[in-house]
Amino acid sequence: MKQSSLLVVDDNPGICILLEDLFSSLGYTVGTASTGLEALELAKKQLPDLIISDLRMPGISGIELRERLLSLNRNMKVILMSAYADKQEMDKLARKHKIDYMLDKPFDLEHLSGVVDGLLK
C-alpha cells in the first residue's frame, strides 16, 4: 500500500516543523515549504496527496496555490488554515473554492490529524 504524502506550506517555520514532526511520527511522508512558489516546485516533484497550507502568505495565497496545484493532481486534497479569517469568511471561501477543509489557527493537533486521516481514506 502506498504511503500518503503531505506538503505543509506556511511562512511560519514553527508551524512547518510542528506539523512535519507530527505527521512524520504518524507514518506520512512530509515535505515543507515556506512560500507558495516553493510549494509549487516541491509539489511538481513530490505530487503530494494532501496539502496543508496557510491561507494568507506573501506572494501566492493558499487559494491561488490550490488553484495551481489542481493542474498537477485533480484528486489532491487541500486543507487551508488561517489565524485571521472569521468563521463566515472561511465557510464562504471553502464553498467558493471547493476547499476540502478550512482550519482556524490555533488548532488542535489531534483534531487536525483526524481530519487528515479522514480525507486520505
**pLDDT higher at 87 or 64:** 64
Residue 83 contacts residue 104 (beta carbons within 8 Å) = yes
pLDDT in tens, 41-52: 999 998 899 999
CATH code of 42's domain? 3.40.50.2300
Q: How high is the pLDDT of residue 85? A: 63
Residue 7 contacts residue 31 (beta carbons within 8 Å) = yes
**What does the block give as the cell for 114?**
483526524
Residue 115 contacts residue 101 (beta carbons within 8 Å) = yes
Taking residues 115-119, report their average pLDDT: 95
Domain that holds residue 56: 5-120
**What does the block give as the cell for 97?**
473554492
Q: Number of structural domains, the chain?
A: 1
**What does the block give as the cell for 50?**
494532501
